[in-house]
Amino acid sequence: MFKKFLLAGSLLLAAGCTTVPITGRRQLSLVSDSEMNSLAMTQYKQTLTTAKLSTNSADVAMVRRVGQRIANAVEQYFRQQGQSSQLDGYQWEFNLIDDPKTVNAWCMPGGKVAVYSGILPLTRDETGLAVVLGHEISHAVAKHGAERMSDQLAAQLGGTALSTALSQNPTTTTNLFQEAVGVGTQGLLLKFSRRQESEADHLGLIFMAMAGYNPEAAIPFWERMAAQSQNNTPEFLSDHPADATRIADIQRLLPEAMKYYKPR
C-alpha cells in the first residue's frame, strides 16, 4: 500500500495536475479529456439503448431547457476566464429516463446527461431541477471523473496509460471508468468523494445562478432530499455529505452565488 502512495505521488509530479474551476483545487490528471469523452460517448449510447426514455413531452422539454441554460452558463463562465478550451469536445445532450422508482441524475464527461423521472417529484419545478443539473454538470466540468480514473489507474493498474489499460485489461478499465464517472452497469450513481460532492455543490450554485435560477432554492431542495432519505436513501445521495453539513455549507456559499444571480 505504501508503494502505491509513493507511485501516486511520483505520477502526480511527472504528469502534472489540473485545477478545478472556481475552487482552485489541484487534482491528479493521468487521463486526457478526449479519452474520457470518448469512453463517455460509448457508455452513454449503451445506457440509452437499454433505458426507457420518457415520452412525457413537457417533462422532456423541461429537462432539456434547464440543462441547456446551465450548459450555456458553464460555457459563459469558462469563456470569461479565457478557458473555453477546457470544454473542447463537449457535445451537450439531455435525456429523461422513464423510471419513477429511481431518484437520480448524472452527467458524464463531454456533457452527456441523464435525469431519471423519479427525481422530478423532489425537484418540483425548473429551479429545483437546476439545483440537480448544476450539481451534476459541475462534476463533469470539474473533471471529477478523470480525477477518480487517474487515482484508480495509479492504485490498481500501476499508473498504466489509459490506452494501454484498455487494450490489456478492457473489462477492468471499463469498470473503472463506470465507477469514476458515477455510472454503474444499471445506470445508478456510484460514490464520488465527499470533497468532490461539496465541490460540485459549490460550482453548481454559481452555474445555476448564472443561468438565471435562484440558488437559494438549493436549501429547500436538499431539505426535501433529507426527508426522503430518512426512510430510503436514494442513489442520488450516495456518499453525499451529511444533510446538516451540506445545508450549512450551502448557506455559507449563498452570498457568493447570489452575486452571479440575475433573474430571468
Check if 199 is active-site.
no
In degrees and rounded to multiples of 5, residue 96 shows phi and psi of -105, 120
- The 8 Å CB, 24+ separation contacts for 10-19 are 11/154, 11/159, 18/143, 18/146
Phi-psi region for residue 187, left (φ > 0), alpha (ψ -120 to 50) or beta? left
Q: Which residue has the cell 450513481?
A: 189
Contact 175, 221 (CB under 8 A): no
- Selected catalytic residue, list 35, 93, 136, 199: 136
Is residue 147 within 8 Å of 29, Cβ to Cβ? yes
The residues annotated with a catalytic role in the active site are 136
